[in-house]
Protein backbone atom coordinates (compact mmCIF):
# COMPACT_ATOMS: atom_id res chain seq x y z
CA UNK A 1 0.00 0.00 0.00
CA UNK A 2 1.29 3.42 -0.94
CA UNK A 3 1.05 5.17 2.41
CA UNK A 4 2.90 8.24 1.10
CA UNK A 5 0.13 8.74 -1.44
CA UNK A 6 -2.46 8.48 1.31
CA UNK A 7 -0.63 11.11 3.35
CA UNK A 8 -0.39 13.38 0.31
CA UNK A 9 -4.11 13.01 -0.39
CA UNK A 10 -4.85 13.82 3.23
CA UNK A 11 -2.72 16.96 3.05
CA UNK A 12 -4.51 18.10 -0.12
CA UNK A 13 -7.88 17.55 1.52
CA UNK A 14 -6.80 19.71 4.43
CA UNK A 15 -5.74 22.50 2.12
CA UNK A 16 -8.93 22.33 0.10
CA UNK A 17 -11.15 22.18 3.18
CA UNK A 18 -9.39 24.98 5.10
CA UNK A 19 -11.69 27.97 5.72
CA UNK A 20 -11.00 30.93 3.47
CA UNK A 21 -10.97 34.43 4.94
CA UNK A 22 -12.58 37.14 2.88
CA UNK A 23 -12.33 40.83 3.60
CA UNK A 24 -15.44 42.95 3.16
CA UNK A 25 -15.95 46.75 3.06
CA UNK A 26 -17.95 49.03 5.36
CA UNK A 27 -20.41 48.27 8.10
CA UNK A 28 -21.57 44.93 6.59
CA UNK A 29 -18.14 43.41 7.16
CA UNK A 30 -18.05 44.64 10.77
CA UNK A 31 -21.52 43.22 11.53
CA UNK A 32 -20.72 39.81 10.04
CA UNK A 33 -17.21 39.50 11.52
CA UNK A 34 -18.19 37.93 14.88
CA UNK A 35 -20.60 35.27 13.52
CA UNK A 36 -18.13 34.42 10.74
CA UNK A 37 -15.30 33.99 13.26
CA UNK A 38 -17.49 31.70 15.39
CA UNK A 39 -18.42 29.64 12.34
CA UNK A 40 -14.74 29.36 11.38
CA UNK A 41 -13.89 28.10 14.89
CA UNK A 42 -16.61 25.46 14.72
CA UNK A 43 -15.52 24.41 11.26
CA UNK A 44 -11.90 24.16 12.42
CA UNK A 45 -12.94 21.95 15.34
CA UNK A 46 -14.94 19.69 13.05
CA UNK A 47 -12.04 19.53 10.62
CA UNK A 48 -9.55 18.73 13.40
CA UNK A 49 -11.79 15.92 14.65
CA UNK A 50 -12.10 14.54 11.12
CA UNK A 51 -8.33 14.67 10.65
CA UNK A 52 -7.74 12.77 13.90
CA UNK A 53 -10.30 10.15 12.87
CA UNK A 54 -8.56 9.75 9.51
CA UNK A 55 -5.17 9.43 11.21
CA UNK A 56 -6.52 6.70 13.50
CA UNK A 57 -8.05 4.87 10.57
CA UNK A 58 -4.83 5.17 8.58
CA UNK A 59 -2.77 3.74 11.44
CA UNK A 60 -5.18 0.80 11.70
CA UNK A 61 -4.88 0.13 7.96
CA UNK A 62 -1.08 0.29 8.18
CA UNK A 63 -1.12 -2.21 11.07
CA UNK A 64 -3.37 -4.58 9.14
CA UNK A 65 -1.13 -4.37 6.08
CA UNK A 66 1.98 -5.06 8.18
CA UNK A 67 0.32 -8.04 9.86
CA UNK A 68 -0.60 -9.43 6.44
CA UNK A 69 3.00 -9.06 5.26
CA UNK A 70 4.29 -10.73 8.44
CA UNK A 71 1.82 -13.61 8.07
CA UNK A 72 3.04 -14.29 4.52
CA UNK A 73 6.70 -14.02 5.59
CA UNK A 74 6.27 -16.51 8.46
CA UNK A 75 4.32 -18.88 6.23
CA UNK A 76 7.09 -18.74 3.63
CA UNK A 77 9.71 -19.29 6.34
CA UNK A 78 8.02 -22.46 7.61
CA UNK A 79 7.35 -23.71 4.09
CA UNK A 80 11.01 -23.19 3.20
CA UNK A 81 11.93 -25.22 6.29
CA UNK A 82 9.82 -28.13 5.03
CA UNK A 83 11.30 -28.08 1.54
CA UNK A 84 14.88 -27.91 2.84
CA UNK A 85 14.25 -30.83 5.22
CA UNK A 86 12.78 -32.87 2.35
CA UNK A 87 16.05 -32.61 0.44
CA UNK A 88 18.43 -32.81 3.42
CA UNK A 89 19.63 -29.22 2.95
CA UNK A 90 20.78 -29.12 6.55
CA UNK A 91 22.77 -25.87 6.49
CA UNK A 92 19.90 -24.10 4.77
CA UNK A 93 17.59 -25.41 7.51
CA UNK A 94 19.86 -24.17 10.31
CA UNK A 95 20.14 -20.72 8.71
CA UNK A 96 16.40 -20.22 9.32
CA UNK A 97 16.90 -20.20 13.12
CA UNK A 98 17.87 -17.42 15.51
CA UNK A 99 21.22 -17.67 17.31
CA UNK A 100 19.50 -18.63 20.59
CA UNK A 101 16.86 -20.88 19.06
CA UNK A 102 15.70 -24.19 20.51
CA UNK A 103 14.84 -27.36 18.62
CA UNK A 104 12.77 -30.24 19.99
CA UNK A 105 11.63 -33.00 17.65
CA UNK A 106 9.70 -35.91 19.03
CA UNK A 107 11.09 -37.18 22.32
CA UNK A 108 14.76 -36.63 21.56
CA UNK A 109 15.09 -33.70 23.95
CA UNK A 110 15.89 -30.01 23.44
CA UNK A 111 18.86 -28.69 21.51
CA UNK A 112 19.81 -25.10 22.34
CA UNK A 113 21.36 -22.55 19.98
CA UNK A 114 21.74 -22.33 16.22
CA UNK A 115 25.06 -24.18 16.26
CA UNK A 116 23.47 -27.14 18.05
CA UNK A 117 20.52 -27.04 15.63
CA UNK A 118 22.99 -27.23 12.75
CA UNK A 119 24.87 -30.11 14.38
CA UNK A 120 21.60 -31.97 15.00
CA UNK A 121 20.56 -31.59 11.38
CA UNK A 122 23.84 -33.00 10.15
CA UNK A 123 23.21 -36.13 12.26
CA UNK A 124 20.14 -36.89 10.15
CA UNK A 125 20.37 -39.04 6.99
CA UNK A 126 21.58 -37.53 3.74
CA UNK A 127 19.38 -37.82 0.69
CA UNK A 128 20.65 -40.50 -1.67
CA UNK A 129 19.39 -43.12 -4.08
CA UNK A 130 16.51 -45.08 -2.58
CA UNK A 131 15.76 -42.59 0.22
CA UNK A 132 12.43 -40.80 0.69
CA UNK A 133 12.22 -37.99 3.23
CA UNK A 134 9.08 -35.86 2.73
CA UNK A 135 7.75 -33.41 5.36
CA UNK A 136 4.72 -31.49 4.08
CA UNK A 137 3.97 -28.38 6.17
CA UNK A 138 0.19 -27.91 6.35
CA UNK A 139 -2.65 -26.16 8.22
CA UNK A 140 -0.90 -23.02 9.50
CA UNK A 141 -2.39 -21.15 12.46
CA UNK A 142 -0.22 -18.06 12.91
CA UNK A 143 -0.67 -15.43 15.61
CA UNK A 144 1.48 -12.29 15.56
CA UNK A 145 2.15 -10.39 18.78
CA UNK A 146 0.81 -6.81 19.04
CA UNK A 147 4.33 -5.37 18.77
CA UNK A 148 4.87 -7.21 15.47
CA UNK A 149 8.24 -8.59 16.63
CA UNK A 150 7.30 -12.12 17.74
CA UNK A 151 4.76 -14.71 16.69
CA UNK A 152 3.54 -18.24 17.36
CA UNK A 153 2.41 -20.84 14.87
CA UNK A 154 0.82 -24.26 14.84
CA UNK A 155 1.41 -26.54 11.85
CA UNK A 156 0.93 -30.13 10.81
CA UNK A 157 3.61 -32.10 9.00
CA UNK A 158 2.60 -35.21 7.07
CA UNK A 159 5.71 -37.36 6.73
CA UNK A 160 6.74 -40.05 4.27
CA UNK A 161 9.97 -41.74 5.25
CA UNK A 162 11.38 -44.70 3.37
CA UNK A 163 14.48 -46.60 2.34
CA UNK A 164 14.37 -48.75 -0.80
CA UNK A 165 13.76 -52.43 -0.06
CA UNK A 166 14.07 -51.74 3.67
CA UNK A 167 11.23 -49.77 5.25
CA UNK A 168 8.39 -47.40 4.52
CA UNK A 169 6.57 -45.29 7.12
CA UNK A 170 3.84 -42.72 7.42
CA UNK A 171 3.99 -40.16 10.19
CA UNK A 172 2.44 -36.96 11.48
CA UNK A 173 3.93 -34.24 13.64
CA UNK A 174 2.12 -31.26 15.08
CA UNK A 175 4.35 -28.20 15.43
CA UNK A 176 3.99 -25.51 18.06
CA UNK A 177 6.62 -23.00 16.99
CA UNK A 178 7.73 -19.50 17.90
CA UNK A 179 9.24 -16.85 15.65
CA UNK A 180 11.14 -13.60 16.11
CA UNK A 181 11.89 -10.74 13.74
CA UNK A 182 15.58 -9.82 13.60
CA UNK A 183 16.69 -6.84 11.51
CA UNK A 184 13.34 -6.99 9.73
CA UNK A 185 13.60 -10.71 8.92
CA UNK A 186 11.48 -13.43 10.51
CA UNK A 187 13.35 -16.45 11.91
CA UNK A 188 12.44 -19.54 13.90
CA UNK A 189 13.21 -19.01 17.60
CA UNK A 190 11.61 -22.24 18.84
CA UNK A 191 10.66 -25.38 16.95
CA UNK A 192 8.75 -28.07 18.83
CA UNK A 193 7.48 -31.01 16.80
CA UNK A 194 5.13 -33.41 18.62
CA UNK A 195 4.93 -36.79 16.91
CA UNK A 196 1.35 -38.09 17.01
CA UNK A 197 1.72 -41.28 14.96
CA UNK A 198 4.41 -43.25 13.20
CA UNK A 199 3.10 -46.29 11.32
CA UNK A 200 4.50 -48.96 9.05
CA UNK A 201 3.18 -48.43 5.53
CA UNK A 202 2.63 -52.13 4.82
CA UNK A 203 1.02 -52.97 8.16
CA UNK A 204 -1.26 -49.93 8.07
CA UNK A 205 -2.20 -47.67 10.96
CA UNK A 206 -5.09 -49.96 11.90
CA UNK A 207 -2.42 -52.38 13.15
CA UNK A 208 -0.99 -49.86 15.60
CA UNK A 209 2.01 -47.57 15.46
CA UNK A 210 5.79 -47.69 15.61
CA UNK A 211 7.79 -45.91 18.30
CA UNK A 212 9.18 -42.48 17.39
CA UNK A 213 12.79 -42.14 16.30
CA UNK A 214 15.05 -42.83 19.26
CA UNK A 215 17.99 -40.84 20.67
CA UNK A 216 20.87 -40.14 18.33
CA UNK A 217 23.84 -42.28 19.41
CA UNK A 218 26.70 -40.17 20.78
CA UNK A 219 24.69 -36.94 20.48
CA UNK A 220 22.77 -36.23 23.68
CA UNK A 221 20.39 -33.25 23.93
CA UNK A 222 21.11 -30.12 25.97
CA UNK A 223 17.88 -30.60 27.94
CA UNK A 224 15.47 -33.48 28.44
CA UNK A 225 12.12 -33.44 26.62
CA UNK A 226 9.81 -30.72 27.90
CA UNK A 227 6.92 -33.19 27.82
CA UNK A 228 6.60 -36.96 27.75
CA UNK A 229 3.70 -38.59 25.92
CA UNK A 230 2.73 -41.66 23.93
CA UNK A 231 2.03 -41.87 20.23
CA UNK A 232 -0.86 -43.56 18.42
CA UNK A 233 -2.67 -45.80 19.25
CA UNK A 234 -2.53 -43.76 22.46
CA UNK A 235 -4.07 -40.30 22.26
CA UNK A 236 -2.14 -37.14 23.00
CA UNK A 237 -3.19 -33.63 21.93
CA UNK A 238 -0.31 -31.13 21.81
CA UNK A 239 -1.30 -27.98 23.74
CA UNK A 240 -2.65 -25.08 21.70
CA UNK A 241 -0.87 -21.72 21.90
CA UNK A 242 -4.10 -19.83 21.12
CA UNK A 243 -7.54 -19.44 22.73
CA UNK A 244 -10.72 -20.52 21.03
CA UNK A 245 -11.44 -17.73 18.49
CA UNK A 246 -15.17 -17.81 19.31
CA UNK A 247 -15.34 -18.41 23.05
CA UNK A 248 -11.97 -16.94 24.02
CA UNK A 249 -11.26 -19.95 26.23
Q: How sure is the predictor about 132, in pLDDT bands with cuts at 50, 70 and 90?
A: very high
Q: What is the pLDDT of residues 144-180, one digit of tens each?
A: 999 999 999 999 999 999 999 999 999 999 999 999 9
The more confident residue out of 34 and 112 is 112
DSSP code for 205? G
What is the per-residue DSSP string for 116-161?
HHHHHHTTSPPP-TTEEEEEEEEEEEEEE-TTSSEEEEEEEEEEEE
143 has a pLDDT exceeding 70 = yes
Q: How far apart are CA 61 and CA 7, in angstroms?
A: 13
What is the per-residue DSSP string for 206-225?
GG--PPPP-PPTT---SB--
The pLDDT assigned to 27 comes to: 52
The CATH number fitting domain 1-17+24-249, selected from 3.30.428.10, 3.10.290.10, 3.40.1390.10, 3.10.450.50:
3.10.450.50
By percentage, how much of the chain surpasses pLDDT 70?
84
Q: What is the pLDDT of residues 212-238, one digit of tens each?
A: 888 999 999 999 999 999 999 999 999
State pTM to two decimals. 0.79
Q: How far apart are CA 85 and CA 133, in angstroms?
A: 8
Q: How sure is the predictor about 55, in pLDDT bands with cuts at 50, 70 and 90?
A: confident
Q: Would you list the domain boundaries of the chain?
A: 1-17+24-249
Amino acid sequence: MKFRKLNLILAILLLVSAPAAFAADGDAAEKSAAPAASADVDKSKDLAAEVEALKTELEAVKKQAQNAEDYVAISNLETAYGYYVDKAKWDEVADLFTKDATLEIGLRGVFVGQDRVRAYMHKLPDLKYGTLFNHMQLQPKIDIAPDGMTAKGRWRAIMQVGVLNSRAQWGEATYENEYRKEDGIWKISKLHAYFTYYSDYYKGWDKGGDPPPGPIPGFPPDRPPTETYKLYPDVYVPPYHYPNPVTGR
